A and B are shown apart, each in its own frame.
Chain A
Amino acid sequence: MSGRKLLMSFPVTPTSHLLAEVRARGGYQTLQRVLTSMTPEQVTKEVTAAGILGHGGAAFPVGRKWSVIHLNDSQPHYLCANADEGEPGTFKDRWILENSPHQLVESMLIAAYALQVRNAFVYIRGEFDLPYRRLQGAVDEAYEAGLLGEKILGTDFSCDLVVYRGAGSYVCGEASALITSIEGKKGYPRNRPPRLTVRGLYQRPTVINNVETLSNIEIIVRMGAEEFRKVGVAKSPGTQLVSISGHVAKPGVYELEYGTPLAKFIYEDCGGVLGGKKLKCIIPGGISTKVLTDADIATVTYDHKAMEAVGSQVGSGGMVVIAEGTCMVRLLQVMLRFYHHESCGQCTPCREGMGWLHRIIDGIVAGRGRPEDIDAMVRISEANDGTTICGMGDAAGFATVGIIAKYRDEFEYYIANGRSKCGGRLEVDVAEQEAAHA
């Protein structure tokens, strides 16, 4: 396995998520220490010094987000964990929610203490069933043990945690749509300014962090910023939970220290491509990030700077491996169908553009494509770049432009011949591969 483990540091058993075992592993000791011997400012300072970046996809420095909150502005602040893990191919937060929910609860309490939050929320995606039951179970256990609610652990600090279930919208994973949804309204993203750290949930300063980001807070405070920075690389300290799926031999959730060579991870840890096929490309961090080809992967290390150098992102850690022989036109069709279905319909470019892209690629796949369709798709993607209220328009545009730029020949072939250059398949026929090897 690649590098040190911070979150996946214990053996998972059917009972390892319960409070008794968590406490036996040393759980909630950091909270005790924070509440009795640290000031909120010291916690924020530690988190800022650790240099941790957001793990939800945008990689925004957590310390910078937290420092916007003024502790003595005599108004309530809110903290919200974003557990609306909807990015296709991403299922890493699910691992935390299922196997280590107390890690999130404890970390949120430390964060709530640092930000002087009385009411914290977890917005969990509605489709999550076991993760919801595990998390709600952990919250109930914590209330019962006096770790949540009034006067936590006998100190003056009080905090309530509410688990709020979403109703199944991708856009509600966007921070401002998420709080709009918690407020009970339709999950439309909000225009910035004002930033959510200035006016967020119920018009109050609100910090929203990804589940994995928040879960790291306890680790940072426990280890100390200096020790934490020794994990990973200078610009990307710590680890990333990577959920890998697609045409890969051993799919699942892996904890990956930043700076690990990507090829080593894919070929050694995950057993390479399914059925021993050649790798065509990977989607590195959720389908909104640009694809990386085999050549890109050969040299790149898994951290923010290196990934940006090859034109992509770490993103949400939702990695999809695509084997040789997969039709990229069909792949893009699947992705655009998703974006079309999930566009909230609030602002014009995305509402109309997603459907437009989807219908164009449907036409291409059905054999009705025209040569100018490729440029039309690029044009629509570019018209969505930076013009929408939230990042979804850009994301769909990135994905489209990313695939077309690298596999334009497949699109041209499909349009010219009315059929796929690579058999039009998305799945790998393992049986056929195994027969060939035998």
Chain B
Amino acid sequence: MPDFFINGQPVTAAKGQTVMQAAKAAGFFIPTFCWHPSLSVSGNCRICVVEVEGEGGGGSWMEIACNMPVTEGMRVLTDSEAVRARRRETLQFILLNHPVDCGICDKAGECTLQDYHYEMNGLPSVSTVPKVHATKYFELSSRIVLDNERCIVCSRCVRFTREISKSHALGIQNRGDASLVRPVESRDFESDPYSDNVIDICPVGALLSKQFLHKARVWYLKATQSVCPGCSRGCTVDLWHRKAEWKLNALDPRENTAIARVTPRENPDVNGPWICNKGRDLAKIFERPRAEQAMQKGKPVQLGDAIADARRLIRDAKRPAALVSSWGSNEELAAFKAALGDRVECIVKSDWQPQPGERLEDDLLIRADKNPNTRTAQDLFGGEARLVPADSDLVLVWGEGTSFVDLPRGAKVILLGSYLAPENGHAEVFIPVSIQTERAGHYTNFAGVVSRFEPIVRKKDGVAHAEQLFAQLAALTEALA
């Protein structure tokens, strides 16, 4: 039984749904600026007008789809001539005081206003009056700049801070065409750990990331799915990096492989459409100076020699133990279990501890465990917190965050690490291993949801993939036994 009709086609709607929700669910396109599925209805942009046909041949009228509850038998047109004309008028209004400076705007290429203008209006402005000028560069926080001329006052960012991040830190000042989004004086936008989401939900280029400001045109970039390792929530993210065909030899080679920005990839099972600011700063984690040279007691050696040495140490050890990384992927952890699980005593360690000033935990996304895959590691190797047995004569340390002082005195250390650190030279054997951006894999978050990440760059030759490394070590230990 159809509930109502869109463009003559029967559509079933759930109770209490608006025309917008039912239409989106049924695959009909209705343009939106201010409406966002995760935020309350504001109904201020007026671009989502649809035509509602009166019953029994009565006249039709315009309603905004986002605020119109579905009623039985209602007949809605989303693309009639009248609707198209109304949208053209609305776009004329929206563009009236918009600077149309797409050429220097970071949002160009992924801007809702730009898309709609090409799709629905395409006409030059009919206005002959001068545009209203406003602040071009207003620092909302140390991370975000606001261009008030580009702002179309859709209030998405304001509603985000009120309804999602709960910082209540943004508001709209003044009225009429002098309306300005501004921070609320008594609130602190700077310390809102979710503030950068307003950049993504801004339908125009009004809110811009300072990190990404004028760094790249978005059409030079490619988004690769990844998982944020910042905490055990494991938010699905997109890592944006330069497309292969747009690599420039003239650039610093690091620019060609760098993470240009991180945005959330919508995943209703994990993070919805949001991520926290720490997730935006993944480059700070992944682009630390890398350790790319295998070492024996601080002396550079070939990777093969280091592996052979490590394998001999494991074979000869009387009571070997291992600190297993909670940053390993499901595949790596399984490989470790299969290869060395019986040979060494395995203890799960926390690679990362909460940093000073970092929000520990909240109701939205952030979790107190700052490691991405503690769940799988504990499922495989036991969850109880243990010390390395005092009589261990060899400790295999995989990943960061272990001080050698905490290890048994006299035990030899094999260290698998990815970043430059003083400990690397103190280990008996140091083997560099690849990081998340150099390999594919899966993490299981605290709630048991498995998410996949893809590589964005190739690993260097002198660096090992941990998954294969464990198999090599295992094959050899068995062969020698």
Give the shortest distance, in Å, between A415 (CB) and chain B (any CB): 13
Interface locus among B87-95, B185-193, B416-424: B87-95
In the assembled complex, the CB of A195 is this many whole angstroms from the nearest CB of chain B, namely 12
Query: Which residues in B have their C-beta under 8 angstroms from that of A386?
Result: 61-62
Does B179 lie within 8 Å of A351, measured CB to CB? yes
Q: Is the beta-carbon distance between A349 and B46 smaller than 8 angstroms?
A: yes
Query: Which residues 117-165 in B have Cβ within 8 Å of A in the complex?
Result: 126-130, 132, 152-153
Within B87-118, the residues touching A (CB, 8 Å) are 89-90, 92-94, 96-97
Option from B69, B90, B129 in Cβ contact (under 8 Å) with A387: B90
- Residue B335 interfacial (CB < 8 Å): no
Q: Which residue of A lies closest to B152 (CB)?
A: A348
Q: Considering the complex, which residues of chain B in the window 30-45 have a beta carbon less than 8 Å from any beta carbon of chain A?
A: 41, 43-45
**Distance in Å: Cβ of A189 to nearest Cβ of chain B:** 10
A389 interfacial contact with B, CB 8 Å: yes
Q: Which of B41, B49, B129, B179 has the most CB of A within 10 A?
A: B129
Contact code string B250-267 (vs A, CB < 8 Å = 1, else 0):
000000000000000000
Given contacts A191-B41, A352-B96, A352-B97, contact A347 B46 (CB under 8 A): yes
The answer to whether B172 touches A356, judged by C-beta atoms less than 8 angstroms apart, is no
Q: Is B463 an interface residue when CB atoms closer than 8 A count as contact?
A: no
Tell whether A376 pairs with B126 under 8 Å between CB atoms, given A191-B64, A347-B44, A387-B86.
Answer: yes
Binary contact readout A325-360 vs B (1 if CB under 8 angstroms, 0 otherwise): 000000000000000111111111101111110011
Are A340 and B61 interface neighbours, CB within 8 A?
A: no
Are the C-beta atoms of A347 and B45 separated by less than 8 Å? yes
Known A191-B41, A359-B130; judge A343-B86 contact (CB<8 A): no
Residues on the A chain within 8 Å of B41, using CB = 191
CB of A383 within 8 Å of the partner chain: yes
CB neighbours (8 Å) of B49 from chain A are 387
Establish whether residues A352 and B43, one from each chain, have CB atoms under 8 Å apart when the complex forms. Answer: no
B277 at the interface (CB under 8 A from A): no
**Least Cβ distance of A334 to chain B in Å?**
17
Q: Are A387 and B46 in contact (CB under 8 A)?
A: yes
Indicate the member of B128, B130, B172 with the most A CB atoms within 10 Å: B128
| Interchain CA distance A186-B175 in the complex, whole Å | 10
A residues near B249, Cβ cutoff 8 Å? none
Cα(A203)–Cα(B123), bound, Å: 42
B67 on the A face (CB < 8 A): yes
Q: Is B355 an interface residue (CB 8 A)?
A: no
Interface assignment of B269: CB less than 8 Å from any CB of chain A = no
Interface size class of A (residues with CB under 8 A): 20 to 34
B390, CB-defined interface residue at 8 Å: no
CA distance A346 to B158 in the complex (A): 13
Report the number of A-B residue pairs with Cβ-Cβ less than 8 Å. Answer: 97
Kindly state whether residue B176 has any CB partner on chain A within 8 Å: yes
Task: Give A397 Cβ to nearest chain B Cβ, in Å.
Answer: 12
CB pair B43 A345 closer than 8 Å: no
User: Given the complex of chains A and B, what is the CA–CA distance between A215 and B253 in angstroms?
Assistant: 79
What residues on A are CB-neighbors of B126 within 8 Å? 376, 379
| A40 on the B face (CB < 8 A) | no
* Known pairs A352-B94, A389-B43, A389-B44; A359 contacts B129 (CB<8 A): yes
Known: A351-B153, A386-B61, A389-B43. A345 touches B93 (CB 8 A): no
Residue of A nearest to B176 (CB): A343
Say whether B177 contacts A348, CB under 8 Å. no
**B62 near A351: Cβ-Cβ < 8 Å:** no
| Distance of A352 Cα from B92 Cα, bound (Å) | 9
How far, in whole Å, are A354 and B178 apart by their CA atoms in the complex? 11
User: Nearest residue in A to B98 (C-beta to C-beta)?
Assistant: A352
Does A239 lie at the interface of the complex (its beta carbon under 8 Å from any beta carbon of B)?
Answer: no
Query: Which residue of the partner chain A has the closest CB to B68?
Result: A193
A374-392 residues with Cβ-Cβ distance < 8 A to B are: 376, 379, 383, 386-389
Which residue from chain A places its CB closest to the CB of B126 in the assembled complex? A376
A363 within 8 A of B: yes
What is the minimal beta-carbon distance from A260 to any residue of chain B, in angstroms?
Answer: 35
Contacting A186 at CB < 8 Å: which of B68, B128, B172, B176? B172
**B90 contact set on A, CB distance < 8 A:** 348-349, 383, 387
In the complex the two chains form, is A356's CB within 8 Å of B129's CB? Answer: yes
Task: Indicate if the CB atoms of A344 and B67 lie closer than 8 Å.
Answer: no
Asked if A169 CB lies within 8 Å of chain B CBs, one says yes
Cα distance A191–B49 when bound, in Å? 13
- A167 to B96, alpha carbons, bound, how many Å? 29
CA distance A350 to B86 in the complex (A): 14
Decide if B64 touches A348 in the complex (CB within 8 Å): no
Q: Is the CB of A348 within 8 A of B45?
A: yes
In the complex formed, the residue of A with least CB distance to B85 is: A383
**CB of A409 to closest CB in B, whole Å:** 22
B174 in the interface (beta carbon within 8 A): yes
Query: A351 touches which one: B43, B69, B176 (CB < 8 A)?
Result: B176
Q: Is the CB of B44 within 8 A of A346?
A: yes
Chain A residues within an 8 Å CB radius of B43: 191, 347, 389
Q: Once the chains bind, are A345 and B67 in contact (CB under 8 Å)?
A: no
Instruction: Say yes or no for A230: interface residue by CB 8 A criterion.
Output: no
Which A residue's beta carbon lies closest to that of B46? A348
One of A191, A340, A383, A387 near B67 (C-beta < 8 A): A191
Residue numbers in A under 8 Å from B93 (CB-CB): 348-349, 351-353, 356, 383
Q: Roughly how many angstroms separate A354 CA and B126 CA in the complex, as a whole number? A: 15
Q: Say yes or no for A370: interface residue by CB 8 A criterion.
A: yes
Chain A min CB distance to B153 (Å)? 6
Which chain B residues numbered 66 to 81 have a C-beta less than 8 Å away from chain A?
67-69
Residues 383-409 of chain A, each 1 if its beta carbon lies under 8 Å from chain B, else 0 = 100111100000000000000000000
Residue B177 contacts which of A345, A360, A376 (CB distance < 8 angstroms)?
A: A345
Closest to A389 in B: B43
Given A191-B41, A348-B90, the answer on whether A355 and B175 have CB atoms closer than 8 Å is no
CB distance from B199 to the nearest CB of A (A): 22
Which B residues, 42 to 58, have Cβ-Cβ distances below 8 Å to chain A? 43-47, 49
- The residues of A that contact B174 with a CB separation of less than 8 Å are 345
B46 touches A169 (CB 8 A): no
Determine which of A345, A373, A388 lies in contact with B179 in the assembled complex, contact meaning CB atoms within 8 Å: A345
Q: Which residues of B contact A191 (CB under 8 A)?
A: 41, 43, 64, 67
Q: Given that A386-B61, A386-B62 are contacting pairs, would A345 and B175 also be in contact in the complex, using a CB cutoff of 8 Å?
A: yes
From residue 160 to 203 of chain A, which have CB atoms closer than 8 A to chain B? 169, 171, 186, 191, 193
Q: How far is the CA of A427 from the CA of B92 in the complex (A)?
A: 37
As a 0/1 sequence over residues 255 to 290 of chain A, the CB contacts with chain B under 8 angstroms (1 = contact) are 000000000000000000000000000000000000
Inter-subunit contact A370/B176 (CB<8 Å): no
Q: How far is the CB of B359 from chain A (nearest CB, A)?
A: 28
Complex: A345 Cα to B176 Cα, angstroms? 4
How far in angstroms is the closest Cβ of chain B from A387? 6
> Once bound together, how far apart are the Cα atoms of A171 and B176, in whole Å?
11
Q: Tell me which residues across on chain B come within 8 A of A342, comparing CB atoms.
A: 175-176
Complex: how many Å from CA A340 to CA B130? 15
Q: How far is the CA of A370 from the CA of B129 in the complex (A)?
A: 11
Please measure, in the bound complex, the distance between the C-alpha atom of A101 and the C-alpha atom of B62, giving whole angstroms: 42
Contact among B62, B64, B96, B176 with A340 in the assembled complex (CB-CB below 8 Å): B176
The 4 closest A-B pairs by CB, nearest first: A345-B179, A359-B129, A343-B176, A383-B89
Q: Can you report 30 residue pairs joining A to B where beta carbons are below 8 Å apart?
A: A171-B175, A186-B172, A193-B67, A193-B69, A343-B177, A345-B153, A345-B172, A345-B174, A345-B177, A346-B44, A347-B43, A347-B45, A348-B45, A348-B90, A348-B93, A348-B94, A349-B89, A351-B93, A352-B94, A352-B97, A355-B132, A356-B96, A356-B127, A356-B129, A359-B130, A383-B93, A386-B62, A387-B86, A388-B46, A389-B43
B interface vs A, CB < 8 Å?
A: 41, 43-47, 49, 61-62, 64, 67-69, 86, 89-90, 92-94, 96-97, 126-130, 132, 152-153, 171-172, 174-179
Chain A residues engaging chain B, CB cutoff 8 angstroms? 169, 171, 186, 191, 193, 340-349, 351-356, 359-360, 363, 370, 373, 376, 379, 383, 386-389
Extra inter-chain contacts (12) besides given A348-B94, A351-B93, CB under 8 Å:
A343-B176, A343-B177, A345-B175, A348-B152, A349-B89, A352-B177, A354-B176, A356-B129, A359-B129, A373-B128, A379-B126, A389-B43
